[in-house]
Amino acid sequence: MRVCKFIFLFLLLILLMGCWDRQEVEERALVMIIGLDIAEKGMLEITYDIANAAAVDPGGGGGDVGLPSETITFLAPDFVSARDIVNSSVSREISFLHLRVIVVSEELARTEEFIHHFSPVLRDREIRRNVEIIVSQEKAEEFIRNNNPKLEERPYSFFEHMESRWRETSLTPLSILDKFFQRMEEDAGVFLAAYATAEVNPVIEKPTEDEYIAGEFPKLGGNPTQVLGSAVFKKGKMIGVLTGEETRLALALRPDVETDPFLVTYPDPIDEDYKVAFRVHKEQHNRIKMNLKKDVPKINVTIPLTLELLGVPSLINYIEDPNNMEVLKDSITAYLQGKAEALIDRTQEEFMAEPFKWSQVARRQFWTLKEYEGYHWMKSYPKAEISISFEIEISEFGRQLDSLDLQKIRD
Amino acid sequence: MWPFFPFKKSNNSPSAKTVVTGNLQKDLNYLKKAFFYPDNKDLIVREIYIDTLEKEVVLLFMAGMVDRKVIEEHVIKTLIQAKPSNVDSKLQEDIVKRMLSIQNTTVYYTLEKAIKGVLMGKTIMLVDESKKIFALETTGYEHRSIDKPERENVIKGPLEGFVESSLINRSLIRRQLKSKNLITEGIEIGTSGICEVSLIYMKNIANDKLVERVKKRLKQVNSDNVQGLSVLEQHLEERPYSLIPTMLYTERPDRAVAFLQEGHIILIMDNSPACLVLPVTFWALFHTAEDQYMRWPYGNFTRVIRMIALLVAMFTPAVYLAITNFHPEMIPSELLLSIMNTREHVPFPAYFELIMLELAFEILREAFLRVPSLLGPTIGIVGALVLGQAAVEAGIVSPILIIIVAMTGLSAFAVADISFNFVVRIIRFIFMISALIIGLYGIALVLIGLLAYLNTLKSFGVPFMSPLAPSGPSSKDTLFRWPVWKQWLRPFYLDPKDSVRKKPPKRGA
């Protein structure tokens, strides 16, 4: 009797608790990339990029294995529930379990409608919070179709690798769903999303190599896709674009260390024709002091940076000559200061909000959350008086201290 | 205690019928009849007339059960050649005391005992006009010489294994554990009383109650002939329907000695090239002898590897099923796509494919045990290589499944104990079915049930998972072990008389 009871209870555990959603793997169609474009009122033009399993050939048998993915575009009011209607032409169950990237066209992102169309991703069980958001200059559909990576077998793995580069280059921000909604719900700053295009329209005259946005970087060959700079979202709506350099600065101005050392060139203070190449290490947290008591809030930010000197094409001896070193240091400090102040002016005037996560520091100035919410950081930020100071230290000089003595060689 | 074997009191009082009468012919006829003498060729009856005593003596023994040399030289020869000066009186004891150069003799008063004696390999001596029967210890039969253990091999450590002779097995233990406290008790089991089990324990360590409990259990065995330890194990079990073994069947004397020194009890029987250790815990089944022989880091390394193998053997097929069928988000996209690609050509659902392949592996394993050893390698190549390769090429199974099944099959062999090996292989199927029904949730459910069951299980009163649960003072020789000099405590769960193995080590000494 006891055994019967036990078996009965055990069966209940199984019968009542199962999800009963068993599905063989080959019955699923894995959507890897979703593209969203604006269409007529209330509708979206949706693009699904579905990975083709047959394109993976572990045996290396050769033969015609087909395209790595199938891209379909259709009109639907909502991209999550569109799964069923897509099944009219795709024979397998559409699954978002391995969704990697959501591409949003700039046109759609700049509308008020965008956030209404986008919020279903929060509810869907299959979409992960680490899905990447990319804003494309052109239509998302075109972007997905034109993206043609040469080194990766599949389009989604291109974005997967791209995503892991953001920390090393910091030319694009970490742009995932989780952070998007986090920033939006905080209602204190703007969110930076990766900005990309597959249409190249190079602009040659840029003073340094990182001042481009996607599509402007002149290059020949390879995948036309460029992911560079960031799209600025405020309250779920895109309001502007930051260049690669501005994105780097914005990340560097954040209180914590968010990025790995990145490579950069700064103007040579003595020989104007050349640049000096550095690897910039941000190893310490920024020191941020705030005074929010007065009408005009005062913010004082000190950014400690350690530079590693990599190349001096002008061959000026900055390393062994302390005077030259001082000149170089001062010039970089002034240069960064100017850039940072320009960026802050832009955020205060154009965006009226900050991408620097300073709200985290501002929150600490209040005793209760209620007080902080009453203060309205977003509204106070544009009128704040901000002073930035860089603490530059040039500590490493590569493998060799002195430069080439060209004079001697040419003789 | 489980009341499966009602205790039956054996009848020890001599009945009138079987008492030795003193009439040689009458007694002899009774014994001959008992053994169906003229028909049964194995019974040897040798009549001797001893001149000095002027008495007739009859020797009875079983051919093949006795040492012929001893009988010929030390019994028959001495009896026939006995000189008159050797015997003063005509007392029968003098025959034994003065004439026979045999190491051990016993005196019987009933013919029933004499029959048992003959069956055990003793030589029965009937003396005319005597109401005593002398049993001469002449047992000696053929057995295998001491050999390497077959299943429990080690690279470092003794290479002797038990053989089929109880006497030799006992000597193997006693040689490794020279102690006056090492006790061997002979206990007759079964209704016919001809099966003797040697109960071995350390008098100064083993808990008396435990010894009593085991003895009581042994006496409850209600079978006329227990063929060996492997059968005895099934008689002794307190939970006969359980999947988990509660006794350890080991063929290594050194392991037996290690267990004796912790306070365990060892059972040895004739015809079994092994001993039974009881009570045991999960860890006794999990460990091997080599864990202690290897230096501390190596021993621990092998234990970790074995634990991983144990988990792999139990879970891999189930986890594969659960992940591919219920949770494909858990594996990297590339892997999922290549699984999808290989599954594309397979006509069966994954669970059918998996269970089919697992069964095929079990069939191969079972068949290999019975394959004549000469054919072994050939059949191995056909069975494993050709079959596997052909199955993949024919598109019946996907290559990833071959990897999974081969991996689990091999991992199961890392589990040394034969009973435990079966447990792992059977539980694997249970996990697979639960994973098939409700995915990882099912695996978790069965695992929780299994752990709960393991914790309720007891082996002769000792909790199966101790000293982990319940926890208590011990040398912490479980998944990991400390260096040997730190293992100075005996495990608490055996409640040993002396709980300390040696003085605790001094720090920095």
* C-beta of residue A40 within 8 angstroms of C-beta of residue A11: no
Q: Exposure string (b/e) for A283-302, b if CB count within 10 Å is 16 or more?
A: eeebebebebeeeebebebe
Residue B311 shares a structural domain with residue B415: yes
* C-beta of residue B400 within 8 angstroms of C-beta of residue B345: no
Residue B125 shares a structural domain with residue B217: no
Q: Which of A24, A131, A160, A163 to substitute to test the interface with B, most B CBs within 10 Å? A: A24
Interface of A with B in 291-350 (CB under 8 A): none
Residue B70 shares a structural domain with residue B203: no
Sign of the CA dihedral A138, A142, A146, A151? positive
Segment B275-289 shows an average pLDDT of: 92
Q: What is the pLDDT of residues B43-86, one digit of tens each?
A: 888 888 877 777 788 888 988 888 888 888 888 888 887 766 55
A11 touches chain B (CB under 8 A): no
In a domain, B298, yes or no: no
Spatial distance between the Cα atoms of B169 and B268, rounded to a whole number of angstroms: 8
What confidence score (pLDDT) does residue A84 get?
A: 86
* C-beta of residue B343 within 8 angstroms of C-beta of residue A56: no
CB within 8 Å: A30 and B342: no
Spatial distance between the Cα atoms of B262 and B206, rounded to a whole number of angstroms: 8
Alpha carbon of B213: minimum distance to chain A alpha carbons (Å):
28
CB within 8 Å: A24 and B349: yes
Q: What is the pLDDT of residues B465-476, one digit of tens each?
A: 988 888 888 888
Residue B388 shares a structural domain with residue B352: yes
Q: At what angle do helices B399-413 and B296-325 cross, to 10 degrees?
A: 150
In a domain, B474, yes or no: no
In a domain, B37, yes or no: yes
Spatial distance between the Cα atoms of B435 and B443, rounded to a whole number of angstroms: 6
Domains and CATH numbers, chain A: 27-52+68-244 (no CATH), 254-411 (3.30.300.210)
Residue B128 shares a structural domain with residue B265: no
Q: In the structure, what pLDDT confidence band is assigned to residue B14 with cuts at 50, 70 and 90?
A: very low
CB within 8 Å: B337 and A51: yes
Interface of B with A in 250-269 (CB under 8 A): none
Residue B119 shares a structural domain with residue B254: no
In a domain, B89, yes or no: yes
Q: Output A149 or B451, whichever has higher pLDDT.
A: B451
Question: What total of structural domains would you count in chain B?
Answer: 3
In a domain, B495, yes or no: no
The token pair that represents B193 in the structure block: 């009383």
pTM above 0.80, yes or no: yes
Q: In the structure, what pLDDT confidence band is assigned to residue B266 with cuts at 50, 70 and 90?
A: very high
CA nearest neighbour of A246 among A234, A231, A266, A225: A231
Residue B20 shares a structural domain with residue B99: yes
Spatial distance between the Cα atoms of A149 and A13, rounded to a whole number of angstroms: 49
* C-beta of residue B264 within 8 angstroms of C-beta of residue B495: no
Residue B170 shares a structural domain with residue B119: no
CB within 8 Å: B326 and A24: no
Domain's final residue, options B136, B152, B175: B136
Q: What is the pLDDT of residues B478-503, one digit of tens each?
A: 889 988 888 888 998 888 888 888 88
CA nearest neighbour of B281 among B259, B308, B306, B314: B259
A7 touches chain B (CB under 8 A): no
Looking up tokens 């294994």 gives B161
Asked if residue B467 has a cis previous peptide bond (ω within 30° of 0), the answer is yes
pLDDT at B19 over 70: yes
* C-beta of residue B123 within 8 angstroms of C-beta of residue B136: yes
What confidence score (pLDDT) does residue B1 get?
A: 42
One digit per residue, the tens of pLDDT, for chain A of length 411 reads 788 988 888 778 777 766 677 888 888 899 999 999 998 877 899 999 998 887 765 554 445 567 788 899 999 988 888 888 888 888 888 999 999 999 999 999 999 989 988 888 888 888 988 899 999 999 999 999 988 888 887 888 888 888 778 888 888 888 899 999 998 888 888 999 999 998 877 776 666 777 788 888 888 778 888 888 999 999 989 999 999 889 999 999 999 888 888 888 888 888 888 888 889 998 889 999 998 888 889 999 999 999 988 888 888 888 888 888 889 899 999 999 999 999 999 999 999 999 999 998 898 889 998 999 888 888 889 999 999 999 998 888 877 777 677 777 777
CB within 8 Å: A26 and B344: yes
pLDDT at B12 over 60: no
How many residues are listed for chain A in this entry?
411
Listed in sequence order, the DSSP H helices in B294-398 are 296-325, 333-343, 350-370, 376-380, 387-393
Q: Exposure string (b/e) for A305-323, b if CB count within 10 Å is 16 or more?
A: bbbbbeebebebebbeeee
Residue B30 shares a structural domain with residue B123: yes
* C-beta of residue A29 within 8 angstroms of C-beta of residue A95: yes
What confidence score (pLDDT) does residue B94 get?
A: 63
CA nearest neighbour of B327 among A331, A28, A285, A238: A28
Asked if residue B279 has a cis previous peptide bond (ω within 30° of 0), the answer is yes
CB within 8 Å: A51 and B333: yes
Question: For residue A260, with 0-12 CB atoms within 10 Å meaning exposed, 13-18 middle and 19 or more buried, which class applies?
Answer: middle
Q: In the structure, what pLDDT confidence band is assigned to residue B10 with cuts at 50, 70 and 90?
A: very low
CB within 8 Å: A56 and B336: no
Candidate from A13, A19, A23 with C-beta closest to B445: A13
DSSP-assigned states of every residue in B79-140 = HHH--GGG-SS--HHHIIIII---S-EEEESBHHHHHHHHHTTPEEEEETT-S-EEEE--B-
In a domain, B254, yes or no: yes
Spatial distance between the Cα atoms of B103 and B139, rounded to a whole number of angstroms: 11
B442 touches chain A (CB under 8 A): yes
Asked if residue B470 has a cis previous peptide bond (ω within 30° of 0), the answer is yes
Chain A residue with CA closest to B440: the answer is A18
Spatial distance between the Cα atoms of B244 and B355, rounded to a whole number of angstroms: 23
Three-state DSSP state, A262: strand
What confidence score (pLDDT) does residue B7 get?
A: 45
Q: What is the pLDDT of residues B133-169, one digit of tens each?
A: 888 888 887 888 898 988 888 889 899 999 998 889 9
CA atoms within 13 A on the CB side of B263: 22
Alpha carbon of B341: minimum distance to chain A alpha carbons (Å):
5
Phi, psi of A376 (to 5 degrees): 60, 75
Spatial distance between the Cα atoms of B166 and B273, rounded to a whole number of angstroms: 9
CB pairs under 8 A between A and B: 81
Residue B132 shares a structural domain with residue B179: no
Spatial distance between the Cα atoms of B100 and B2, rounded to a whole number of angstroms: 49
What confidence score (pLDDT) does residue A17 get?
A: 67
What confidence score (pLDDT) does residue B282 get?
A: 93
Domain's final residue, options B280, B314, B333: B280
Residue B201 shares a structural domain with residue B103: no
pLDDT at B87 over 70: no
In a domain, B245, yes or no: yes
In a domain, B464, yes or no: no
Host domain of residue B197: 166-280
Residue B329 shares a structural domain with residue B268: no
Alpha carbon of A158: minimum distance to chain B alpha carbons (Å):
13
Name every residue whose Cβ is closer than 8 Å to that of residue B384 and which is 6 or more positions away in sequence.
B364
B447 touches chain A (CB under 8 A): no
The token pair that represents B441 in the structure block: 């949730």
